[in-house]
């Protein structure tokens, strides 16, 4: 299995909305690249799995359980399962979502 990928080369910003691309999948975790257009918001929701968000590019605000976290390149955000979260891209913003497949 080839897991040698350049995330920077995978970034592709939509004119509006969100574009997601699969990066890697196995029986332990799923990794997807999300590319959000400037001004796009994802409303509050939860996930039944633990997750890590790693910001690759751009700037935005990630709200986790009522706390605003500035999204900027290099920021790593850990979420427990069932944590309420939302986000808004202030500029074109891309991030990796690494989702545990275990409960």
pLDDT of amino acid 5: 86
Q: Is residue 68 part of a domain?
A: yes
The rounded distance, in Å, linking the Cα atoms of 22 and 97 is 10
Domain count, the chain: 1
pLDDT of amino acid 61: 98
Q: Is residue 12 part of a domain?
A: no
SS (H, E, C) the chain: CCCCCCHHHHCCCCCCCEEEEEEEECCCEEEEEEEECCCCEEEEECCCCCEEEEEEECCEEEEECCEEEEECCCCEEEECCCCCEEEEECCCEEEEEEEECCC
Domain extent, residue 72, equals 17-100
What CATH number does residue 29 fall under? 2.60.120.10
pLDDT of amino acid 101: 86
Q: Taking the model in full, what pTM does it have?
A: 0.92
Q: Is residue 81 part of a domain?
A: yes
Closest Cα to residue 25, out of 79, 80, 94, 99? 99
User: Looking at residues 4-29, what average pLDDT do you find?
Assistant: 92
Q: Is residue 10 part of a domain?
A: no
The per-residue pLDDT for range 31-80, each reduced to its tens digit, is: 999 999 999 999 999 999 999 999 999 999 999 999 999 999 999 999 99
Q: Is residue 9 part of a domain?
A: no
* Whether pLDDT at 84 is above 60: yes
């Amino acid at each position: 299995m080839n897991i040698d990928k350049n995330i920077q080369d995978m970034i592709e910003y939509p004119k509006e909305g969100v574009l997601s691309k699969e990066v890697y999948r196995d029986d332990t975790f799923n990794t997807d690249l999300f590319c959000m257009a400037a001004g796009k918001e994802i409303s509050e929701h939860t996930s039944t799995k633990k997750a890590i968000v790693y910001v690759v590019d751009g700037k935005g605000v990630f709200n986790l359980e009522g706390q605003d976290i500035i999204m900027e390149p290099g920021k790593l955000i850990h979420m427990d399962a069932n944590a309420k979260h939302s986000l808004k891209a202030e500029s074109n913003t891309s991030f990796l979502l690494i989702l545990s497949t275990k409960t």
